[in-house]
Amino acid sequence: MKPDAKMIPAGILGPALILALLFAACGESEVARHARQITGGDPGQGLVLVRKYGCNGCHMVPGAPGAKTGGKTGPPFEGVGSRPTLAGGLPNTPQNLIRWIRDPQSMSRGTQMPTLGVSEQDSRDLAAFLYTLR
């Protein structure tokens, strides 16, 4: 085979191929990467935290282990990542969602959503998970 200026040098092909295979093996979707980027959280950890904080006691949570199918106090989480608003009218921004998860009472007095003492990082992880639900 004759060398061609448009060909990728063999020394680069090996590492590039290895990186491509590693990213494919990780399996993180573009939606998950975007959610991680805009929230500073980990969507996989957020899924774990759904159970820790009992979110599925009031909300239907797609993909959550042990999620109840009948949580009816709060709205279902399905599609929350693509909704224009949160919590009855707040713009659906990462900052609003993270703050809502941490302290909903400060954003809407009298809301049924309780303040659960969610840490800053846990709220970012939960928000990242929620933004994967489209």
Question: Does position 121 have pLDDT exceeding 70, yes or no?
Answer: yes
Segments of 8-110 assigned E as strands: 85-86, 90-91
- The per-residue pLDDT for range 1-51, each reduced to its tens digit, is 454 445 544 554 455 445 444 444 456 899 999 999 999 999 999 999 998
As a whole number, mean pLDDT of residues 68-84 equals 83
Residue of 110, 134, 125 lying closest to 44 (CA atoms): 125
Structure tokens at 8: 């990728």
pLDDT of residue 109: 86
pLDDT reading at 70 higher than 90: no
Choosing among 2.120.10.30, 1.10.150.120, 3.40.50.620, 1.10.760.10, the CATH entry for 30-131 is 1.10.760.10
Phi, psi of 71 (to 5 degrees): -60, 115
* Distance between CA atoms of residues 122 and 63, nearest Å: 18
Cα distance between residue 132 and residue 49, in whole Å: 14
Q: What is the pTM of this model?
A: 0.76
